[in-house]
Structure 1
Amino acid sequence: MKNILLACSSGMSTSLLVSKMEEVAKEKGVEVKIWAVGQDKAMTEMENADILLIGPQMRFMKKKFSKVADKVGIPLEVIDPVAYGRVDGKAVLEKALETMEEN
């Protein structure tokens, strides 16, 4: 089971993306837990995740989140703005799984 955490400013804009990612994972038979939180909860939630994906609007916070992600030992990626804007669950899920395999 892979645990994928998404973070955005409030956790609201990633909720639809989580649903789309879950649909794709189910179709592919991939066991994942995907959830979204606001930036204020991301630091503590990282301990339960295998990867942190942050919304493109939070790109400026990558350095701050990277410090905690490195301590916890998980990769961190900024979600591709085009995939994010299109709510492309397939592209985001595939990138997350690919990144986890590399690390």
Structure 2
Amino acid sequence: MKIILVCSAGMSTSMLVQKMRKAAQEKGLSATIDATSEAELGNHLDHTNVILIGPQVRYLAPKIKSKAEPHGIKVDIINSMYYGTMNGDKVLEQAQGLLEG
């Protein structure tokens, strides 16, 4: 499973990425989790399964969906409570739920 988190500069999600990687490791999941800016997203679409958008850039969702959905990539906005508390476990669950749903 490959998950990409998108925020304005790719920086504010880096801590969340680390927490998600730790949660995946603890659950024994094979997951590649990275953060990027919206401008760089096109370079990360190959083999990506889920794109999660930081709540502060939720206005980018339609643009990102139009790029990602033709590739079969699931897109959602990160739950703002999970983002605000940097809850890597819950954000990972959100990504898994998109794949299963």
Same fold (TM over 0.5): yes
| Deviation, structure 1 residue 92 | 0.1
Q: Secondary structure at the match of 1:47?
A: coil
Q: Is the 8 A contact 1:50 1:74 kept in 2?
A: yes
Over the matched positions of the two proteins, sequence identity in percent amounts to 38
Q: Match for residue 57 of structure 1?
A: 56
- CA distance in structure 2 between the aligned counterparts of 1:56 and 1:47, rounded to whole angstroms: 24
Aligned to 2:16: 17
CA contact (8 A) 1:43 1:65 kept: no
Question: Given the two structures, how large is their TM-score scaled by the length of structure 2?
Answer: 0.95
TM-score in terms of structure 1 length: 0.94
CA RMSD, Structure 1 to Structure 2 (Å): 0.9
In the alignment, structure 2 segments of 5+ residues that lack a partner are none
Which residue number in structure 2 is paired with residue 74 of structure 1?
A: 73
The gaps in structure 1 that reach 5 residues or longer are none
Show CA shifts across 1:54-90 (max 9, x none): 1001111111111111111111000011100100001
Extract structure 1 runs of 4+ deviating beyond 4 A.
none
Paired positions, count: 101
